[in-house]
């Protein structure tokens, strides 16, 4: 793997576009993450922005972000997202999953709420879908599954402000759909391929970039459970 140093959002965006796929956290493929290639002094800094704050700018540059890699976060480039979605969706638009009754009821509620709003903050989405005390449970399971299936992505992070206009706390995720951000045709451009073909294209692409990585590990990080 090419050696990267992630010291700015531009550096991360460049790596995502060059590699196509970039997990946020360390995983079984050595060096294949933002975490392992970011200077330690920037990981949790009180005086400078770091990878947590850079997620929004990288997303806004045109990369896709979500819990895409074994239920953990990372980026995918626009160039490779069509094949990624074709494989992960296994031939189904979400409407087709609903029509055939194979999408869980909670998934349908959350996806419909996101689609209706276009882009919605996580706390608003939870309120709209009754994920509150005494209401529905399991929101993180639902939103993670929708991201792993590529029907939903995180379109930005919004920081709350105090009365002086100063931001504080962690960024609040704003959820959307890839189709909303980039258009249906761009997201579904690989639908003409068999999902298994898209999977193999991704694996061979990563194998060329990461020749020392175990191929089983490469397959595992792209593979969707039960596919």
Q: What number is the average pLDDT over the span 120-147?
A: 96
What is the predicted pLDDT for the residue at 163?
A: 72
Q: Is 203 exposed, middle or buried (0-12, 13-18, 19+ CB in 10 A)?
A: middle
Least confident of 107-116, 122-131, 168-177, 187-196: 168-177
Query: For residue range 23-37, what is the model confidence (pLDDT) as tens digits?
Result: 999 999 999 999 999
pLDDT at residue 72 above 70?
yes
Least confident of 63-67, 167-171, 178-182: 167-171
Which runs of consecutive H residues, i.e. helices, occur in the chain? 9-19, 40-43, 51-60, 78-89, 94-99, 105-117, 122-128, 139-148, 178-182, 184-187, 195-209, 215-222
Query: For residue range 139-155, what is the model confidence (pLDDT) as tens digits?
Result: 999 999 999 999 999 99
Residues 180 and 201: their CA atoms lie apart, in Å, by: 25
More confident call, 148 vs 164 = 148
What is the predicted pLDDT for the residue at 168?
A: 67
Q: What number is the average pLDDT over the span 94-119?
A: 96
- Across the chain, what does the average pLDDT equal? 93
Cβ neighbours, 10 Å, residue 93: 16
The model's confidence at residue 84, banded by pLDDT at 50, 70 and 90, is very high
pLDDT at residue 64 above 70?
yes
Query: For residue range 34-51, what is the model confidence (pLDDT) as tens digits?
Result: 999 998 888 877 777 889
Residue of 16, 20, 120 whose CA lies nearest to 58: 16
What is the predicted pLDDT for the residue at 40?
A: 84
What is the predicted pLDDT for the residue at 190?
A: 98
Nearest-Å Rg of the Cα atoms of the chain is 18
What is the predicted pLDDT for the residue at 195?
A: 97
Phi and psi at 119, nearest 5°, equal: -150, 135
Any idea where the domains of the chain sit in the sequence? 9-222
More confident call, 105 vs 47 = 105
């Amino acid at each position: 793997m090419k050696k990267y140093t992630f010291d700015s959002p531009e550096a991360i965006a460049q790596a995502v576009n060059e590699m196509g796929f970039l997990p946020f956290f360390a995983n079984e493929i050595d060096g294949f993450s933002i975490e392992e290639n970011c200077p330690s002094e920037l990981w949790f800094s009180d005086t400078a922005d770091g990878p947590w704050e850079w997620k929004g700018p990288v997303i806004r540059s045109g990369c896709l972000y979500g819990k895409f890699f074994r239920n953990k976060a990372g980026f995918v480039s626009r160039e490779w997202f069509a094949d990624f979605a074709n494989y992960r969706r296994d031939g189904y638009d979400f409407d087709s999953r609903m029509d055939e009754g194979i999408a869980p009821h909670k998934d349908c509620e959350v996806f419909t709420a996101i689609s209706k709003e276009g882009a919605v903050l996580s706390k608003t989405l939870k309120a709209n879908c009754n994920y509150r005390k005494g209401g529905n449970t399991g929101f993180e399971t639902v939103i993670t599954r929708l991201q792993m299936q590529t029907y939903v992505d995180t379109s930005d992070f919004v920081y709350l402000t105090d009365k002086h206009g100063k931001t504080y706390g962690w960024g609040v995720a704003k959820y959307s759909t890839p189709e909303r951000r980039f258009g249906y045709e761009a997201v579904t451009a690989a639908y003409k391929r068999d999902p298994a073909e898209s999977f193999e294209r991704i694996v061979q692409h990563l194998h060329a970039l990461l020749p020392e990585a175990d191929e089983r590990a490469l397959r595992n990080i792209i593979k969707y459970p039960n596919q």
